[in-house]
Amino acid sequence: MKKIIALLLVLTCWAVHPQGVNGPLDSVILTQADAMGKAFIAKDYTSFIKYSHPTVVQVMGGQRKMLDETVKSFQEFEKQGVVFLSVSFGAPSKIVKTEGELQCTFVEMIEMRIPGGRLTAYTNVIAVSRDNGANWYFIDCSDNSIVNMRLLIPSISTELVLPEPIGPAFEEDPKP
């Protein structure tokens, strides 16, 4: 029985953080993305924005202003009846090395309750590490193309490719 439980634990850990195309770095990327997602769901926006790329923070007017804008934006969502339920992530793409950075992309899935049902939104994320993969910054691309993202952050590699956007999925509440 102990062997079965131990095997299940190993398989569960493997399923949560599988070794993908980038070996152990995939696990590091997904662990840090998961920490960012948990901070987001917990409304710990101070921790959440620590994962934002420094150029994005600068464009937003600095960390304090970005925090204020983030809080304000999500308070507006709450007023509209939006409740964020979970965040999950797809497997990272092959890492590209450029200008002393590691870069890759992955898909983020955000599940939320909205008036009338549940909505799952999909967005592309660019992950960037400036310290050889120890720490990662994440850039939500929303509906932006890779060309637009390079205008914002010129260090984004021309080898990096964003996956085709995936439209949202809506599940209507059952009718009583």
User: What backbone torsions phi and psi does residue 23 show, to the nearest 5 degrees?
Assistant: 60, -140
Per-residue pLDDT of 94-111, as tens digits, reads 999 998 999 999 999 999
Residue 4 has a pLDDT of 33
Residue 176 has a pLDDT of 79
Average pLDDT over the chain, rounded to an integer: 89
pLDDT above 90 (res 17): no
Residue 14 has a pLDDT of 37
> What is the Rg, in whole angstroms, of the alpha carbon atoms belonging to the chain?
18
How far apart CA 168 and CA 89 sit, in angstroms, is: 15
Residues 19-55: b if buried by 16+ CB within 10 A, e if exposed = ebebeebbbbbbebbeebbebbbeeebeebbebbbeb
Tokens coding 125: 């994320």
pLDDT above 80 (res 27): yes
pLDDT band for position 19 (50/70/90)? low
pLDDT band for position 175 (50/70/90)? confident
- Determine the 3-state secondary structure of 119 from DSSP: strand
Distance, first Cα to last Cα, the chain: 45
Q: Do 145 and 115 form a contact (C-beta atoms < 8 A)?
A: no
pLDDT above 80 (res 84): yes
Is the whole-model pTM more than 0.75?
yes
Residue 13 has a pLDDT of 38
Residue 142 has a pLDDT of 87
Residue 20 has a pLDDT of 79
More confident residue, 50 or 3: 50
Residue 147, CA distances (Å) to 96, 155, 172 in order: 17, 12, 35
pLDDT above 70 (res 136): yes
Interval 51-71 mean pLDDT = 96
